[in-house]
Amino acid sequence: MASRSHHGNPKVFAGRAVGALTRAICAELGCTRGQSECKNFSDGEIWFKFSENIRGADVFLVQSTYAPVENLFELLIMCDAARRASAHRINAVVPYFGYARQDRKDQPRVSITAKLVANMLTVAGADRVLTMDLHAPQIQGFFDLPVDHLYSAPVMTDRIRSARIPRLTIVSPDVGGTNIARAYAKRLDAPIALIDKRRLRHNAVEMMQVIGEVKGRSCLIVDDLCDTAGTLVAAAEKLVAAGATRVAACFTHAVLSGSAVARLDASPLKEIFITDTIPLPPEKRSKKFTVVSIAEIFAKAIQGIHQDESISSLFK
């Protein structure tokens, strides 16, 4: 790749899925958001145009790929437009990387959609991907291009620490989440517990048992995302039954499909910490939610990438 000037600010453009988050990232960077146009034709087809010159530029395209699938396709179109406009480097900034839960062939005749999306981003023209709290960290290996994988734990734990929760125990809702639980427990100097569960089918879970001491403790359930909230609510109920005095939750990606918010509102959960990788429309808001912005950590990563500096400190 040819040498590139480091002078000036990176050019940051927003997809329609994360306009507010992109504005916050630009505010942290001290730059203005790049000018672009995006609209749908009457049949739903997406049209995108950069409204300023990006030839030879280091561009950062910010777009989360939560449902509907048009959000993913809009990101692909943005990458393709940047490639055809002769951008020097195309950085796909994907705060929430959708289709990541299908990361292996766990049944006959199914797709590995995480790899499919990685392939599509590469073909569309992305040179680099910047994302946060992948459902499975090994998805980074699905790409044949650099992937910077950020974690929300540093900003989340700062916010949780300020809440001064007494007698805190960190709880993983399943075996797969123990690494996240350990990271939180280390930062917050708290013990961990685990809920052993058995999944009967997609979005249906039979809770098994609590492993660890939770009686008389304030429990914080940590996870990467919340979809239907079935697992989370069942875990909270199980902890209360096991003697927990207070149960809160913390997850990065507020997918919240179907009746998830109503389920959370009716649950024993007292407080729920989430980030702004996915915006909350009015119908998905709850008094229990505390939104922690991850704009600063993305801004630091974008600045570091733009300046070709190490950003490894952000991965810890």
Query: pLDDT 10s per residue in the chain (316 long)?
Result: 444 444 567 999 999 999 999 999 999 999 999 999 999 999 999 999 999 999 999 999 999 999 999 999 999 999 999 999 999 999 999 999 999 999 899 899 999 999 999 999 999 999 999 999 998 889 999 999 999 999 999 999 999 999 999 999 999 998 888 889 999 999 999 999 999 876 666 665 565 689 999 999 999 999 999 999 998 999 999 999 999 999 999 999 999 999 999 999 999 999 999 999 999 999 999 999 999 999 999 999 999 999 999 888 777 6
Domains and CATH numbers, the chain: 11-151+295-315 (3.40.50.2020), 153-292 (3.40.50.2020)
3-state secondary structure of 95: coil
The rounded distance, in Å, linking the Cα atoms of 77 and 213 is: 50
Query: Is 43 annotated in some ligand binding site?
Result: yes
Q: Any binding-site annotation on 44?
A: yes
**Phi and psi dihedrals of 112, rounded to 5?**
-100, 85
Give the model's pLDDT for residue 306: 95
Is 275 a known ligand-binding residue? no
Give the tens place of pLDDT for each residue, 72-129.
999 999 999 999 999 999 999 999 999 999 989 989 999 999 999 999 999 999 999 9
Asked if residue 277 belongs to a known ligand binding site, the reply is no
Q: In this structure, are residues 171 and 239 in contact, taking their beta carbons and an 8 Å threshold? A: yes
Per the annotation, the verdict on 197 as an active-site residue is yes
230 carries a ligand binding annotation: yes
Residue 209: the pLDDT is 85
Helix/strand/coil for 75: helix
> What is the per-residue burial (b if ≥16 Cβ within 10 Å, else e) of 163-191?
eebeebbbbbbbeebeebbebbbebbebe
Q: Out of 11, 115, 197, 238, pick the active-site residue.
A: 197
